[in-house]
Amino acid sequence: MRWMSGLDKMIVGGIELGLLRRGHGAKKLLLLHGFDPISPQARFLDRLASHGEIIAPSSPGFGDTPRPDDVTTIYDLVHLHLELLESLGEPVTLVGFSFGGWLAAEMAAASCHRIEKLVLVDPLGLKISGRDTPDILDLFNTHPREVTTRRWRDPARHAPDFNAMSDDELVRVARNREALCLYGWQPYMHNPRLKRWLARIKIPSLVLWGAQDGVVSPAYGRAYADLIPGACFELIDEAGHHPEIEQPDAFADRLLAFLES
């Protein structure tokens, strides 16, 4: 890994990643974003930065991070971020949100060598129910109004206002959606093989869930946690699919208590 001086970017495996950094200290938290890169204005960041240094990359295709033509699958992202872990040179707490929770679970199932603790926040990635029962809301074929109400407990307060965005911001939103579709379209937002290999995760693990999540239900979350040996499952009330945004203090309290235990 190579840091680019003066820029919020880093080079991993020859790929230039956008980067958010916050905090200092020996402890490191690697944050993997969900549908969109983590906003520098997110309220929970300062709370977590009291624990150590936050490193939050933007995956290829998201935000302003370019995507090489040969990076097209969740498999590619797993190996890219495992290389990032090796480059950091010391264990980290790995925190994954939604799509990034799927990525974090794949990484931990592949190798916990550089992961000290694992936190999954409303992760995707599994097929829990039968073939004809959808577990994960179809984000691309559901009316945008319904997607909004399913993602947020309080859409009027927290959902993004696309009408207020600049052209550059709208382009980033479109890139994020395109990248999410590329990595998660077939099979839709899950890996049929991941369910078997979650049992390989032998580190302290916490699964946090928005109690009003309409993208992936709390029942799905409990089943997810049950597949990880010794994992704790906790609900955050008054939150949908993004509890770190809708309830940042409750989210930070739960995560920091887990890290300090």
Supply the DSSP string of 80-113, one letter for each residue.
Answer: HHHHHHHHH-S-EEEEEETHHHHHHHHHHHH--T
Neighbours of 55 (CB within 10 A): 18
Q: Which two tokens stand for residue 218?
A: 């709390």
pTM of the model as a whole: 0.95
Question: Quick one: which of 78, 79, 99, 100 has its CA closest to 29?
Answer: 100
Neighbours of 30 (CB within 10 A): 23
Q: Which two tokens stand for residue 63?
A: 């935000």
> In whole angstroms, what is the distance from residue 128 CA to residue 204 CA?
23
- Residue 252 CA neighbour count, 13 Å, CB half: 15
pLDDT tens across the length of the chain (261 residues)? 444 433 488 899 899 999 999 998 778 999 999 999 999 999 999 999 988 999 999 999 999 899 999 999 999 999 999 999 998 888 999 999 999 999 999 999 999 999 999 999 999 999 999 888 999 999 999 999 999 999 999 999 999 999 999 999 999 999 999 999 999 999 999 999 999 999 999 999 999 999 999 999 999 999 999 999 999 999 999 999 999 999 999 999 999 999 998
> In whole angstroms, what is the distance from residue 220 CA to residue 225 CA?
9
The domains located in the chain, with CATH, are 2-260 (3.40.50.1820)
Neighbours of 256 (CB within 10 A): 15
Question: Quick one: which of 53, 69, 43, 68 has its CA closest to 19?
Answer: 53
pLDDT at residue 181, as a whole number? 97
pLDDT at residue 7, as a whole number? 45
Supply the DSSP string of the chain, one letter for each residue.
Answer: -EE-TTSSEEEETTEEEEEEEE--SS-EEEEE-SSSPPPTT-THHHHHHTTSEEEEEEPTTSTT----TT--SHHHHHHHHHHHHHHH-S-EEEEEETHHHHHHHHHHHH--TTEEEEEEES--B---S-TTS--S--TTTS-HHHHHHHH-SSHHHHS--GGGS-HHHHHHHHHHHHHHHHHHTTTTTB-TTHHHHGGG--S-EEEEEETT-SSS-HHHHHHHHHTSTT-EEEEESS--S-HHHHSHHHHHHHHHHHHH-
Tokens 């949100």 belong to residue: 97
At a CB cut-off of 8 Å and minimum separation 6, what does 78 contact? 103, 106, 107, 110
